[in-house]
């Protein structure tokens, strides 16, 4: 998740889009998908600026409005810092405190958010048109070497745990590690304990062996919450068809992300997202595909200042190896033609226009994730 504090003006996006690249030029809006507001929709990695800004920040009203407009029933939100080797007692304490801080933010906005602890809470969020926040960590670093911390974090509200981020940790290899070493012995202990504590295992960011071995180690279905298809874009953050098929065969779900990884070069758009969704449908079947945007809800105001700062950020990510060398730094992490809070509804309309049934779209938007969560949580 990237913390964004800037917001969009629709006219500004259209002007920049048409000027910077003709592929972004305004096109006819797809028809709205009528069942959306009655659908249980889940973003398998997302967030809101409310978790990062102070209560009196001027951006609060816009962030709250985005929560009202999105139409989501659930968002998996990553509480623990990702990509850091946080193994110290101080880091453990800070993670516990951050969980409590985020719960306090949810409590300040009960009209638009609620904490999800079980499947009944997901249904409640849908019924009351609130966004259910599902706590996850992007990496097992807060556990240190102590699997008992899994139960402690569960008591606090953790319901999904992603085993690795991009790098290697004590559990296994992330996708950016050339060694592709898979799950460690400790990793197998962690998966076993997650199953016992009824916490969903997420294998996003895993190396191929980590993903395969994680799927096989778990006694219940797992997620690859935010990813894409390596058959379409051969970069490490994507997942090979073999692992996608194994995931589906064992009941799991893969969420298609919105990031530039969806194509080897150039700016990703809704067309790339749909391309990956449709490929995953062919490989996995309609019961095993979802969406994990890896984006905050609030749309981005694409000002010249934002473009400048964003380019520098992408250059830094290329330098850190998050994106491969040679990648064009003039990219947005989001798809410019889905730069609105209600992006799921827009995408659903696009899928419908391509002939996908209402039942299939409902599964992709969140029904498949809800099935796995219900099975694991009990």
In a domain, 328, yes or no: yes
Radius of gyration of the chain (CA): 19
- 49: containing domain: 10-377
Q: Kindly state the tokens that stand for 323.
A: 């994106």
Residue indicated by tokens 């969020």: 125
Report how far Cα 358 is from the mean position of its chain's Cα atoms.
Answer: 23
Tens-place pLDDT, residues 22-55: 334 334 566 789 999 999 999 999 999 999 999 9
pLDDT score of 11? 27
The pTM for the full model equals 0.92
Tens-place pLDDT, residues 54-86: 999 999 999 999 999 999 999 999 998 776 666
Using CA atoms, how far apart are residues 80 and 281, in angstroms rounded to an integer? Answer: 31
Q: Would you list the DSSP string of 3-20? A: -------HHHHHHHHHHH
Residue indicated by tokens 């981020």: 165
Using CA atoms, how far apart are residues 375 and 124, in angstroms rounded to an integer? Answer: 17
Residue 340: pLDDT band (50, 70, 90) is: very high
List beta partners, residue 158: 135
Q: Kindly state the tokens that stand for 270.
A: 């809704």
In a domain, 277, yes or no: yes
Using CA atoms, how far apart are residues 273 and 253, in angstroms rounded to an integer? Answer: 16
Using CA atoms, how far apart are residues 141 and 84, in angstroms rounded to an integer? Answer: 8
Q: Kindly state the tokens that stand for 173.
A: 């290899």
Q: Are strands 131-138 and 253-256 parallel, antiparallel or unpaired?
A: unpaired
Using CA atoms, how far apart are residues 111 and 107, in angstroms rounded to an integer? Answer: 9
Q: Would you list the DSSP string of 80-97? A: EPSSS---SHHHHHHHHH
Tens-place pLDDT, residues 128-167: 999 999 999 999 999 999 999 999 999 999 999 999 999 9
Residue 90: pLDDT band (50, 70, 90) is: confident
Judged by DSSP in three states, 254 sits in strand
pLDDT score of 86? 67
The DSSP secondary-structure symbol of 261 reads G
Q: Kindly state the tokens that stand for 83.
A: 């990509």
List beta partners, residue 255: 290
In a domain, 22, yes or no: yes
pLDDT score of 79? 95
Dihedral over alpha carbons 237, 296, 267, 360 (to 10 degrees): 70
Nearest to 257 by CA among 347, 159, 191: 347
Tens-place pLDDT, residues 214-251: 999 999 999 999 999 999 999 999 999 999 999 999 99
pLDDT score of 85? 65
Q: Kindly state the tokens that stand for 297.
A: 């809800």
Q: What is the mean pLDDT of the chain?
A: 91
Judged by DSSP in three states, 147 sits in coil
In a domain, 1, yes or no: no
In a domain, 5, yes or no: no
Q: How many domains does the chain have?
A: 1
In a domain, 210, yes or no: yes
Query: Domain holding 199: CATH number?
Result: 3.20.20.140
In a domain, 3, yes or no: no
Q: Which residues contact 74 (CB under 8 A, 6 or more apart)?
A: 40, 41, 42, 43, 116, 122, 125, 131, 132, 133, 134, 366, 369, 370
In a domain, 4, yes or no: no
Cα distances (Å, whole numbers) of residue 66 to 26, 31, 216, 299, 308: 22, 21, 38, 8, 25
Using CA atoms, how far apart are residues 317 and 311, in angstroms rounded to an integer? Answer: 10
């Amino acid at each position: 998740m990237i913390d964004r504090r800037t917001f969009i003006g629709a006219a500004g996006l259209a002007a920049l889009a048409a000027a910077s690249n003709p592929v972004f030029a305004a096109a006819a809006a797809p028809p709205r998908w009528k069942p959306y507001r009655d659908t249980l929709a889940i973003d398998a990695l997302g967030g809101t600026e409310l978790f990062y800004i102070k209560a009196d920040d001027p951006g609060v009203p816009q962030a709250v409005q985005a929560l009202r407009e999105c139409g989501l029933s659930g968002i998996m939100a990553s509480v623990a810092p990702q990509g850091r080797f946080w193994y110290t007692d101080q880091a453990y304490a800070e993670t516990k405190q951050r969980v409590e801080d985020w719960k306090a933010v949810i409590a300040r906005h009960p009209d638009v958010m609620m904490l999800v602890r079980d499947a009944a809470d997901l249904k409640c969020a849908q019924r009351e048109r609130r966004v259910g926040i599902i706590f996850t960590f992007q990496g097992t670093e807060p556990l240190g070497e102590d699997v008992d911390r899994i139960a402690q974090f569960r008591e606090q509200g953790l319901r999904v745990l992603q085993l690795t981020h991009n790098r290697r940790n004590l559990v296994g290899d992330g996708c950016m590690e050339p060694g592709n070493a898979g799950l460690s012995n400790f990793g197998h202990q962690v998966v076993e304990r997650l199953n016992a504590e009824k916490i969903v295992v997420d294998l996003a960011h895993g190396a191929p062996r980590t993903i395969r071995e994680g799927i096989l180690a778990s006694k219940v279905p797992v997620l690859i919450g935010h990813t894409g298809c390596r058959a379409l874009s051969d970069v490490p953050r994507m997942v090979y068809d073999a692992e996608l098929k194994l995931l589906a065969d064992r009941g799991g779900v893969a969420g298609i992300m919105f990031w530039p990884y969806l194509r080897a070069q150039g700016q990703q758009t809704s067309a790339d997202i749909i391309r990956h969704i449709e490929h995953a449908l062919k490989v996995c079947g309609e019961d095993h595909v979802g969406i994990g945007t890896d984006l905050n809800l609030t749309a981005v105001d694409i000002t010249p200042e934002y473009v400048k700062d964003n380019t520098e950020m992408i250059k830094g990510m290329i330098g850190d190896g998050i994106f491969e060398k040679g990648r064009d730094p003039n990219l947005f992490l989001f798809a410019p033609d889905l730069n609105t809070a209600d992006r799921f509804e827009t995408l659903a309309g696009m899928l419908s226009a391509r002939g996908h049934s209402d039942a299939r779209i409902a599964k992709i938007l969140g029904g498949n994730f809800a099935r796995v969560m219900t099975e694991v949580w009990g």
